[in-house]
């Protein structure tokens, strides 16, 4: 148990608010940022397949945020494995 109860509250706020801000920025990024191309409007409106429940499948552009997150994860994993191999640290 900590000596000061306010420290626990400060730690929770320190973890909570950056997480909430990240979630909002991530959601906005998924909603609005895409790779723009000449045929985006056609791809967003053209229905490729209709599921029985009335859900329509479209070939919309892939979100830029997801592209950056996937690329960052792959780069991080590569360099993590590389540095642990070079430095001889046991994983």
Task: Supply the pTM of this predicted model.
Answer: 0.49
Task: Reply yes or no on whether the pLDDT at 62 is more than 80.
Answer: no
Confidence grade of residue 90 (pLDDT, cut at 50, 70, 90): low
Residue with tokens 């990024």, as numbered in its chain: 29
Residues near 60 by beta carbon (within 8 Å), at least 6 away in sequence: 34, 43, 44
87 compared with 89, residue with greater pLDDT: 87
Measured CA to CA, the distance from residue 80 to residue 72 in angstroms comes to 12
Task: Reply yes or no on whether the pLDDT at 34 is more than 80.
Answer: no
Task: Reply yes or no on whether the pLDDT at 55 is more than 80.
Answer: yes
- For the chain, which residues make up each domain, given as ranges? 1-32
Helix (H, G, I), strand (E, B) or coil at 9: helix
Query: What are the tens digits of pLDDT across the range 1-21?
Result: 567 767 777 778 888 888 888
């Amino acid at each position: 148990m900590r000596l000061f109860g306010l420290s626990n509250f400060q730690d929770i706020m320190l973890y909570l608010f950056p997480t909430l801000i990240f979630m909002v920025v991530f959601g906005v990024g998924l909603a609005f940022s895409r790779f723009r191309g000449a045929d985006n409007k056609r791809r967003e409106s053209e229905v490729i397949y209709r599921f029985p429940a009335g859900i329509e499948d479209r070939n919309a552009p892939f979100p830029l945020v997801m592209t950056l997150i996937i690329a960052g994860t792959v780069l991080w994993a590569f360099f993590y494995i590389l540095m642990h191999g070079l430095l001889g640290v046991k994983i």
